[in-house]
């Protein structure tokens, strides 16, 4: 599968001159002989002075010289415009306009590095064009066949169970360069080098060199080939991963790009299937945890089923954790993958499940068998909550709340999981924190369970009615002021700082609140009533 020295999607100028059509014209290279390896993308024939504006670059231009101009300045300008356009070569047939190419023309072509060829015999331009175009098409077809050959090798490797690393290795051998697969945000997934890689060339070192500098991350070095692995979604989800092929061992050619694009299509299917399988597995674990919470699986049967799912926590206590969130549509598969990756670094056994219908991610965490389980619980909870949030942020989401339940054995887990899940629902809308302790949210849970009871709405109306009416018709400041005042246990200085108020303004607002409620804000029973009413208000329908 050697490819060095081949043109990228065309034929060389040298090869075009060797074909019968141009060879019959007795071609003589008078400038740019060192550039005959340039690729001819197409052939164009023309006799107009502004011909450069009609070209795109890479053409071999055939002319009799009628449009070159009669003065040296015109001839120099003509050649410069062609060189700036990036044509492959200029071929002038002698006899009609020139018996020998003018010195100004030749000197300008040499200075510009443009291959310039004069034909000493007349040739039919249409025959030359057809001949070269046929050669180019055959060359393209050969490239397609070679790229398809690589695609076939990759497909067979996948069917034989080779996986992503084997596909990358085939591509690396074909291109004689390292091949890297990274996430859209630049994290390395896999790396492979060619079997005949130069001594001392490590694909991981190559990747670190590419990603080590901020400039390299934004703009890869010249010659590096980037190919997106499609994700099937829109926006950020449109790209699942990216192939990076740095030109280390040899230049990257058009056939390499074609092969990489075909390999990217295969990798997209493999990665999508892996994500789907990962999501299905996570859903299965979520179903297990839900069945355990709802009593459909007994505590006696649960350990054996958990082992089948890969969860082996040992003899220590278990910790139920529930995260609530609303990820974008289609994000549950990448979410399960990202969160599982983040949890793998926590250092404790974790059984992760997802419940997309409820927007819930339940977990069981093994705390080990140490006697200081209560101390370990908070440290582990901190790490687990951090990993959950990091995984969600990787897919562009944001957790609504993370709640950690009470540690216990398998016998306590049905009630523990159920209590933690309900508490997580009740805690939605609370101030954002890394995680909440379910043991400290029992009041929130009780009020949430009463959310549909008329008595709760009546209690809130009686306790806060005057303030609700005031804030409904005026600037809503009194309820937030009361909430902050109670949250700071009546400490006025801290309340004023949080609300960015001066002391006198806060005193005036508190006096107005006391007047509207006909209540003493220093009375403990009044404080308890108002605190409960503010908490209950959050759970009322329509709030």
The DSSP output letter for 10 is: S
pLDDT in tens, 259-294: 899 999 998 888 877 776 677 788 888 889 999 999
Q: Tell me, what's the pLDDT at 5?
A: 39
Pairing of strands 39-40, 11-12: antiparallel
- Pairwise CA distance, residues 320 & 116, whole Å: 78
Which span out of 193-197, 312-316, 352-356, 416-420 was modeled with the highest average pLDDT? 416-420
The 3-state DSSP composition of the chain as helix, strand, coil percent (nearest 5) reads: 50, 15, 35
Query: Poorest-confidence range of 36-40, 247-251, 384-388, 398-402?
Result: 247-251
Instruction: Outline where DSSP puts E strands in 27-80.
Output: 27-31, 39-40, 42-45, 59-63
pLDDT in tens, 437-494: 999 999 999 998 888 888 888 888 888 877 878 877 777 788 889 888 888 888 989 9
Q: What angle do CA 505, 511, 512 make, to 5 degrees?
A: 90
Q: Tell me, what's the pLDDT at 186?
A: 75
Q: Is the domain 450-537 a CATH 1.10.10.2840 member?
A: yes
Please choose, from the candidates 295, 512, 511, 499, the residue with its C-alpha nearest in 3D space to the C-alpha of residue 411: 295
The CATH number assigned to the domain with range 11-135 reads 3.40.1390.20
pLDDT in tens, 132-161: 988 888 877 777 888 888 889 889 888 887
Contacts of 149 by beta carbon, 8 Å cutoff, 6+ apart: 1
User: Are 441 and 355 in contact, with CB atoms under 8 Å apart?
Assistant: no
Residue with tokens 């309900």: 422
- Pairwise CA distance, residues 363 & 59, whole Å: 63
The three-state secondary structure class of 535 is helix
Sheet holding 318-324, edge to edge: 350-352, 360-366, 318-324, 401-404, 436-437
- Pairwise CA distance, residues 146 & 37, whole Å: 21
Contacts of 317 by beta carbon, 8 Å cutoff, 6+ apart: 367, 373, 407, 408, 409
Query: Does pTM top 0.75 for this prediction?
Result: no
Residue with tokens 């289609």: 330
Q: Tell me, what's the pLDDT at 335?
A: 85
pLDDT band at 14 (very low <50, low <70, confident <90, very high): very high
Q: Which two tokens stand for residue 457?
A: 């709405």
User: Are 413 and 318 in contact, with CB atoms under 8 Å apart?
Assistant: yes
Q: Tell me, what's the pLDDT at 76?
A: 94
User: Are 288 and 305 in contact, with CB atoms under 8 Å apart?
Assistant: yes
Please choose, from the candidates 393, 417, 212, the residue with its C-alpha nearest in 3D space to the C-alpha of residue 302: 417
User: Are 246 and 210 in contact, with CB atoms under 8 Å apart?
Assistant: yes
- Pairwise CA distance, residues 70 & 342, whole Å: 73
Pairing of strands 401-404, 436-437: parallel
Average pLDDT of the chain? Answer: 85
Contacts of 24 by beta carbon, 8 Å cutoff, 6+ apart: 121, 123
DSSP H/E element including 449 = helix 442-449
- Pairwise CA distance, residues 25 & 320, whole Å: 85
């Amino acid at each position: 599968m050697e490819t060095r020295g081949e043109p990228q999607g065309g034929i060389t100028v040298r090869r075009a001159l060797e074909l019968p059509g141009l060879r019959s014209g007795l071609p003589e290279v008078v400038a740019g002989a060192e550039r005959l390896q340039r690729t001819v993308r197409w052939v164009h024939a023309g006799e107009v002075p502004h011909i450069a504006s009609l070209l795109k670059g890479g053409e071999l231009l055939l002319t009799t010289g009628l449009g070159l101009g009669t003065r040296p300045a015109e001839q120099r300008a003509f050649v410069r415009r062609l060189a700036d356009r990036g044509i492959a070569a200029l071929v002038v047939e002698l006899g009609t306009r020139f018996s020998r190419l003018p010195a100004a023309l030749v000197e300008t072509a040499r200075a510009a590095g443009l291959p310039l060829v004069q034909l000493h015999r007349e040739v039919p331009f249409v025959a030359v064009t057809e001949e070269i175009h046929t050669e180019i098409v055959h060359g393209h077809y050969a490239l397609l066949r070679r790229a398809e050959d690589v695609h076939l090798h990759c497909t067979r490797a996948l069917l034989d169970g080779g996986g992503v690393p084997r596909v990358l290795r085939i591509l690396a051998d074909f291109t004689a360069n390292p091949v890297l697969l990274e996430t859209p945000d630049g994290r390395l997934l896999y790396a492979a080098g060619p079997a005949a890689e130069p001594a001392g060339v490590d694909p991981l070192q190559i990747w670190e060199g590419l990603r080590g500098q901020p400039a390299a991350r934004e703009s890869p070095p010249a010659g590096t080939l980037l190919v997106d692995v499609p994700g099937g979604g829109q926006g950020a989800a449109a790209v699942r991963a990216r192939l990076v092929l740095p030109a280390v061992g040899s230049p990257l050619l058009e056939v390499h790009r074609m092969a990489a694009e075909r390999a990217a299509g295969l990798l997209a299917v493999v990665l999508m299937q892996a994500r789907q399988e990962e999501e299905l597995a996570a859903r299965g674990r979520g179903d297990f945890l839900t069945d355990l919470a709802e009593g459909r699986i007994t505590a006696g049967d649960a350990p054996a089923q958990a082992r089948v799912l890969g969860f082996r926590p040992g003899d220590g206590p278990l910790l139920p954790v529930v995260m609530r969130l609303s990820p974008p549509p289609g994000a549950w598969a990448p979410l399960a993958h990202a969160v599982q990756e983040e949890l793998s670094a926590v250092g404790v056994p974790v059984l992760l499940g997802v419940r997309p219908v409820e927007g819930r991610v339940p977990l069981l965490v093994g705390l080990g068998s140490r006697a200081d389980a209560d101390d370990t619980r908070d440290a582990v909870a901190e790490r687990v909550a951090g990993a959950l949030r990091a995984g969600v942020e990787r897919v562009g989401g944001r957790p609504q709340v993370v709640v950690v339940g009470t540690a216990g054995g398998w016998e306590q887990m049905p009630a523990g999981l159920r209590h933690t899940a309900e508490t997580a629902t009740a805690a939605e809308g609370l101030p954002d924190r890394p995680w909440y302790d379910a043991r400290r949210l029992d009041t929130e849970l009780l009020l949430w369970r009463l959310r549909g009871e008329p008595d709760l709405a009546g209690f809130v109306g009686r306790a806060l009615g005057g303030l609700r009416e005031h804030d409904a018709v005026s600037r809503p400041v009194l309820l937030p002021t009361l909430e902050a005042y109670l949250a700071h246990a009546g400490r006025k200085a801290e309340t004023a700082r949080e609300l960015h108020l001066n002391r006198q303004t806060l005193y005036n607002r508190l006096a107005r609140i006391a007047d509207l409620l006909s209540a003493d804000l220093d009375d403990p029973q009044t404080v308890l009533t108002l605190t409960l009413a503010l908490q209950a208000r959050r759970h009322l329908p329509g709030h």
